[in-house]
Structure 1
Amino acid sequence: MASPAPPPAQPMPLHVFLINLDRSADRLARCAPLLDALGVTWERVPGIEGKRLDAARLAALNPHPAPHGEWFRPLTPGEIGCFLSHLRCWQLIAERGLDCALVLEDDFQTHDICTLQNLQALADSATGAHPWDVLKLTRLRQGAKRVGSVGQVSGDAGQGTPLALCFGGKGPEDGTAYLVSRRGAAKLTPKREHLLRPVDFELKHHWERDLTVYSASPDLFWQVGADIAASVIGGGRAEYRDYPPLRKAQVYLRKHRYHMRFWLANKLGLGRRNVLG
């Protein structure tokens, strides 16, 4: 008599990595109750203070001018530290073989529809009909096109609203809250000799690492205002606006060239691809 087939493997419970600087105990104190209320398993990932890295290390990580014209100014120490902090989260996902994990910066706030059930449904969709590598959970972009549905929002808030996966659109970027699948972590972690751009813009260059990057609709998180807990992990990116006129003009010229390169790569497929090859 044939033995019964084993039950199908159950997805791993969602794990959360919270990036938090050692000197920001107040932010940790604000975030901890929010995460505990969600009922998720979470851990703190110590944020890396870029300004504590020596000059040689910063220069090695972020050569300038950037290779291939991939950014228009040197990254600030804060941006480098921020990128390294997110990179550590991606590495932990890959090292532990997690199916999926939620990466949060410590200036997040939850919308009413942010429940464990909705988060888990989105995480499980990473290997569903429309698989993805990164799923952004903040700032759904204007004009984003719906590519698939995960079901309906559960819970009292927004009940019956479609919980959807979207692609593209226009709008600002941030790295406040996003899911990374195991496949995504495997693509994001290798060959990181240089950090060419801020981490939130890195995820826009999806063609370089063959990333599938979607956004959830509706948003589950938002970035709190500067009066509550403005992000300092990646601050200082607008310093170039205070440069002397000639230097500022040079930066703006490189910025224009960067955006032209980005448009050509994103719309016409002319960018560098498969940088892991």
Structure 2
Amino acid sequence: MIGYYVINLARSVERYRSFAALAADAGLEVERVDAVDGKVATQDGWDGLDLDRFRRFNGREPLPGEYGCYFSHIKAMRTFLDSGYSSAVIMEDDAEPHAAVGPFASALDDRFSDRTLLVRLTSHRLQLFEAFERPLEGGPRVGQCWLGPTGSGSAYWLTRSAAATLVERMLPVYCPFDVMQERSWETDVRFCQVKPNLMPVPRPPDSTIAASGPTYAVKYPPYRRLPTYWTRTAQFFRRLAACARTRGI
């Protein structure tokens, strides 16, 4: 069985009502996960954040919304692990579920629930996409992108094994959630994507989870970003190597 979860801030009442109406129309029974609000504490109070590594990796300061988004997804995965479901679809409240989501998630669950696998259902970019399988006739293909990061953690399907592994290995935080989600060479969770997107790319107004606090990341001057350039270059080659090793689900 599949659990469907939506991450939503307590203060975003109308956003939840809108999402719940779409989910009901799609035939999905969703469970609300109370989002972590990054504005409730200052940067010094953000437990689980490796601030020095974040600065080196990203070349800037972390944003409150990034912190809240990251730990909201960790919370959603823990909620799923406390259930009896074999797999789950986790969505932010700016996702737009529709009737095709349930059958596609069921097809993934039938075929891959025994894997340590995460399939992102919506991405901002699909660069050099390599298709593997079509789990549902007429549905999108599942595959991988050789270039990235591809952006957006607004909706994804994952197995129990994947959730348990990510909860353990995604901490401490040193990059945005959607970037860390793709780093299969570090998490040991097989990461795949769909083409075309199963759900629309979120349009403004964006999720209030990620938008809490400042929304514009001010980068350090170039001389302070030298460690970032190095890590991005290393990430490029590690991604290529990971894709070359796993030419399938």
Instruction: Bin the TM-score by the shorter chain.
Output: 0.7 to 0.9
Residue pairs, 1:96-107, within 5 angstroms: 96-107=83-94
CA distance, structure 1, for counterparts of residue 208 and residue 221 of structure 2: 24
Residue pairs, 1:4-15, within 5 angstroms: 12=1, 14-15=2-3
Does the C-alpha gap of structure 1 residues 115 and 88 become closer, same or farther in structure 2, counting only changes over 3 Å? closer
- Structure 2 match to 1:272: none
Residue pairs, 1:29-178, within 5 angstroms: 29-58=17-46, 60-66=47-53, 69-110=56-97, 114-127=100-113, 131=115, 133-139=117-123, 141-153=126-138, 163-170=140-147, 172-178=150-156
1:54 shift after superposition = 4.2
Does the C-alpha gap of structure 1 residues 143 and 265 become closer, same or farther in structure 2, counting only changes over 3 Å? closer
Determine if contact 1:65/1:74 at 8 Å carries over to the other structure.
Answer: no
CA distance, structure 2, for counterparts of residue 173 and residue 187 of structure 1: 21
Does the C-alpha gap of structure 1 residues 151 and 78 become closer, same or farther in structure 2, counting only changes over 3 Å? closer
- Structure 2 match to 1:204: 182
- Structure 1 match to 2:193: 215
CA distance, structure 1, for counterparts of residue 38 and residue 26 of structure 2: 31
CA distance, structure 1, for counterparts of residue 197 and residue 217 of structure 2: 30
SS at match of 2:127: coil
- The reply on whether 1:261 has 2:246 as its aligned counterpart is no
TM normalised by structure 1 equals 0.76
- The reply on whether 1:188 has 2:156 as its aligned counterpart is no
Among residues 146, 152, 157, which one is paired with 1:179 in the alignment?
Answer: 157
TM normalised by structure 2 equals 0.84
SS at match of 1:65: helix
Determine if contact 1:136/1:216 at 8 Å carries over to the other structure.
Answer: yes
Structure 2 counterpart of 1:164, one-letter code: R
1:166 shift after superposition = 0.8
Gaps of 5+ in 2: 243-249
CA distance, structure 1, for counterparts of residue 202 and residue 56 of structure 2: 33
- Structure 1 match to 2:203: 225
Name the stretch that deviates more: 186-195 or 18-27.
Answer: 186-195
Deviations 1:241-263 (A, max 9, x none): 5xxxxx43345434322211212
Determine if contact 1:72/1:251 at 8 Å carries over to the other structure.
Answer: yes
SS at match of 2:50: coil
Would you say how many aligned residue pairs link Structure 1 and Structure 2? 238
1:82 shift after superposition = 0.6
Determine if contact 2:118/2:156 at 8 Å carries over to the other structure.
Answer: yes
Deviations 1:45-93 (A, max 9, x none): 11111110244322x4323320795443332111011100000111122
Two-structure CA RMSD over aligned residues (Å): 2.5
Gaps of 5+ in 1: 1-11, 154-161, 242-246, 270-277
CA distance, structure 1, for counterparts of residue 4 and residue 27 of structure 2: 11
